[in-house]
Structure 1
């Protein structure tokens, strides 16, 4: 590592995160064996107006960069001076990605190993109140002149990096940060890599939190660790701002993806995190109704944004409604035409369903067809039953359950996979009651009507389930 070259870099920009951000000034100081061997400093014409708040912060205004070279002009020199160097910056995720974006806009692939002096200082100089460049320099007595100018900030970062080398003379920590398998280069600057390794690899919800522990963002995932890692690799301005504010990441395992969806919706409503997009109120549902037509055939119809008769079912998207109607049509050998799947045809000819009861061709009696529709009605009524939805638990030997009271979400819990569940009293000690909401109803309805094999136990006061039925559900 002694022979390695480190390009310590700072850029000033037009502001606005990473995407669309343009460089107004750059300074590069190359170190080898702790000695400066090269330096490059220049203002850059961003070819756009510099916002007033940036001008006040950096002192760089439009007049100063009017005659400065563009990044395209300087790109060959910047590429050359940083070639075979390790890219070092204070909060490297910002400087590196802004520089890389400028090269990408020119059709050049800029790819360097990188080290963040925020994370390096946290590792080698732990326990400080703040690791911003200004506060860090003050804490460890490093002179920091011309703050918020590229050369002043780079010179301070050089001194900080040299101090870190003194504390890591064998480059053990630095080498660890450069390991391809290490996540140090893209973790948020305030987030510990050890905490990342503790994130689970199964389903649940996760919380990005600020330094006070307030949730900034809440999400759900089938694999929490993998999903969190994908956030770290995103380059949007909003995601960059989130990661800068993140000091810790908490989680809640659910085992079940369905339960993760429900918990995410509940927790967002509870905390209203700053970086979650506002949840839209569920749109008015499609309502499924039935009526006897002129021939006396019981026919299904979907209504939206209208005052409909008492509905048999409701769906929050047209696709879910069609999926369910196709399922009912096929299961009970009904006619696509009279299931609302085809319109304007005399005889059904559905693209997907190639069997028909024959009622549209008058091959069976209307009464026979309507008897099949009655069976479908009874099937639909089961969606309003009180029941348990059983799914995977957080660990082996455990099952999660979701409790629906008369078809509405009422809570969740976890039970031993070997535990018998015969009636409500068997699961209520483990129940975490929850209030239903439009969001929860939409999630539950989507799961019930678009999942082919929903594992559920119908709950009625008089029900007593045999052991073999329960084992079928938990196996």
Structure 2
């Protein structure tokens, strides 16, 4: 490592994150064996107006860059100066990605190993109140002139980096940061690598939190650690802003993706995190209804806005509704045309269901057909009864459960995988009650209609279904 070359770099820009952000000034100081061996400094014409707030911060205005070279005019020189160098910057994620984006616009592939002096300082100079360049320099007595100008900030970063080299003479820490398997170059500047390593690789929800512990973003994942790492590698202005504000990442293991989806929806509604997109009100659901048609049989119908005297179920997408109706049609040998699966007036001709009941061909009478419909209605009437949906637990010794009270989400919990449950009292102590919402209803509805081999425990019915209505239907 003694012969390694380090290109300490700082850029000033037009502002606006890392995407569509243009460089207005760049300074590169190359160190080898702790000594400066090269330097490149230049204003850059961003070919766009510099916002007033950026001008006030940096002192760089449109007149200053009007006759400066465009980035593509100095790209070759910058590429050559930094060749075989390790890219070093204070908060390297910003500077590196802005520079790389400029190279991409110039049609040049730019790839360098990189080091962050924020993360390096936190490791080698722990316990400081702030690791911003200005505060850090003040804390350890490093002169910092011409703040918010590329050369002034780069010269201060050079002195900081030299201090780090003194504290890491054998390059043990630096070598670890440069290890290809290390996540250091991707992690947010305020986030501890040990905290990332402690994230589980199982399903759950995770929380990006600010320095006060307030959730900034809440997400769900099948593999929490892998999903969090994918956030670190995303290159968007919004994600960059999130990572700059993130100080800790917390998590909650759920065992199953279904419970993770539910917890994510609940927690977003509870905290309204700054970086989560606002949850929109779900569109009006499709309602599964039925009516007695002119042929004397009970026919299924799907309505989105109409009020019907009988509403059996609701679905949040037409895809879910059709999937469910196809299953009912096949299971109880009904006619697709009388199950809202096709619109023509002739015989059934469904692309998927080839064997219909025969009523459309007058092969059976209305009473026989309605008996089959009654069986389907009986199944549907119990479909939304109180039950537990069992899914994977947080360990192999347990299962997670989702409690539906008369078809509505009412809570969740965890039980031993060998535990036998038949009534509500059997899991009351393990239940974590939750309020139902349109989001939870939609998540569960989709899971029930689209998932195969659902492990479900039917509980004692809490409302008696009026079975005598079947007699009226089939009589």
Which of the five TM-score ranges fits, normalised by the shorter chain? over 0.9
Q: Deviations over 1:355-387 (max 9, x none)?
A: 212221222222222211111111111222101
Alignment-derived partner of residue 395 in structure 1 = 395
TM-score scaled by length of structure 1:
0.96
Cα offset, 1:77, TM superposition: 0.6
CA distance in 1, matches of 2:356, 2:185: 61
2: CA distance between counterparts of 1:198 and 1:459?
A: 39
Query: Which deviates further from its counterpart, 120-129 or 101-110?
Result: 101-110
Residues 27 and 150 in structure 2, CA contact (< 8 A), matched pair in contact too: yes
Q: CA RMSD in A?
A: 1.1
- Helix, strand or coil at the partner of 2:39: strand
C-alpha contact 2:87 2:112 (8 A) present in aligned 1:
yes
Could you tell me which residue of structure 1 aligns to residue 159 of structure 2? 159
Distance apart, 1:400 and its partner CA: 0.6
Render the CA deviation track for 1:171-201: whole Å, top value 9, x for unaligned.
0000000000000001000000100011011
Partner of 1:211: 211
Query: Aligned residue for 1:274?
Result: 274
The answer for the alignment partner of 2:418 in structure 1 is: 418
Per-residue displacement from partner, 1:253-285 (whole Å, max 9, x unpaired)? 000111111111111111111111111112111
Pairing of 1:278-289 with structure 2 (within 5 A): 278-289=278-289
Secondary structure of the residue aligned to 1:364 is coil
1-structure distance, mates of 2:374, 2:187: 58
| 2:233 equivalent in structure 1 | 233
Structure 2 residue 372 is the aligned partner of structure 1 residue 376 = no
Query: Are residue 351 (structure 1) and residue 342 (structure 2) matched?
Result: no
Which residue pairs with 2:385 in the alignment?
A: 385
With 188-197 and 420-429 compared, the bigger mean Cα shift is at 420-429
Alpha-carbon spacing, 1:456–1:298, altered in 2? closer, same or farther (3 Å)? same
Q: Return the alpha-carbon distance in structure 1 between the equivalents of residues 354 and 57 of structure 2.
A: 69
Question: 3-state SS of the aligned residue for 1:312?
Answer: strand
Structure-2 residue corresponding to 1:467: none
| SS of match in other structure, 1:93 | helix
Distance between the aligned counterparts of 2:423 and 2:302, measured in 1?
36
Distance across 2 between alignment mates of 1:295 and 1:281: 39
Alignment check: 8 A CA contact 1:423 1:461 kept = no
Distance 1:273 1:34 in 2: 45
Matched, 1:303 2:303: yes
TM-superposition CA deviations, 1:214-243 (whole Å, max 9, x none): 000001111101110110010110000000
Distance 2:45 2:308 in 1: 63
Matched, 1:75 2:97: no
Matching residue of 2:250:
250
Q: Which residue of 2 aligns with 1:407?
A: 407
> d(CA) in 2 for partners of 1:308 and 1:93?
57
SS of the residue 2:156 aligns to: helix
Distance in 2 separating the partners of 1:365 and 1:107: 74
1:125 paired with 2:94, answer no
| CA drift at 1:137 | 0.3
Aligned to 1:465: none
Aligned pair count? 462
Note if contact 1:217-1:274 (Cα within 8 Å) is conserved in structure 2: yes
Distance 1:461 1:281 in 2: 31
**Pairwise CA distance, 1:461:** 6.5
Task: Tell me, in whole angstroms, the C-alpha distance in 2 between the residues paired with 1:93 and 1:192.
Answer: 15
Partner Cα distance (1:382, 1:64) in 2: 75
**What secondary structure does 2:130 align onto?**
coil
Please give the alpha-carbon distance, in whole angstroms, between the structure 2 residues aligned to 1:459 and 1:372: 25
Counterpart residue number, 2:115: 115
Whether the 8 Å CA contact 1:27–1:40 is kept in 2: the answer is yes
Counterpart Cα distance in 2 of 1:275 and 1:238: 8
Residues 424, 461 of structure 1: 8 Å contact kept: no
- Partners of 1:23 and 1:44 within 8 A in 2: yes
Moved over 6 A (4+): none
| Residue of structure 2 equivalent to 1:201 | 201
* 1:325 CA displacement: 1.1
CA distance in 2, matches of 1:99, 1:330: 60
- Secondary structure of 1:202 counterpart: coil
Aligned-pair CA distance for 1:345: 4.2
Using structure 2 for the length normalisation, give the TM-score: 0.96
Question: Counterpart in 1 of 2:94?
Answer: 94
> Secondary structure in 1 aligned to 2:57?
helix
Rounded Cα–Cα distance in structure 2 between residues aligned with 1:105 and 1:330: 57
SS at match of 2:404: strand
SS in 1 for 2:410: strand
Match of 1:264 in 2: 264
Q: CA deviation at 1:309?
A: 3.1
Partner Cα separation in structure 1 for residue 26 and residue 309 of structure 2: 68
- Corresponding residue for residue 30 of structure 2: 30
Q: Is 2:42 the counterpart of 1:42?
A: yes
Q: Which runs of 5+ in 2 are unaligned?
A: 463-475
Deviation at 1:423, TM superposition (A): 2.1
- For residues 212 and 168 of structure 1, what CA distance do their matches in structure 2 show? 32
Looking at structure 2, the residues matched to 232 and 255 of structure 1 have their Cα atoms a distance apart, in angstroms, of 24
Distance 2:74 2:284 in 1: 56
Q: CA offsets per residue over residues 272-304 of structure 1, 9 Å max, x none?
A: 111111111121111111112211222111111
The answer (yes or no) to whether the contact 2:44–2:70 under 8 Å persists in 1 is yes
Q: Secondary structure at the match of 1:449?
A: helix
Q: 1:277, 1:306 → 2: CA distance?
A: 31
Q: Which blocks of at least 5 consecutive residues in structure 1 are unaligned?
A: 463-475
Give me the whole-angstrom Cα distance separating, in 2, the residues matched to 1:307 and 1:372. Answer: 25
- What CA distance in whole angstroms lies between the structure 2 residues aligned with 1:332 and 1:55? 73
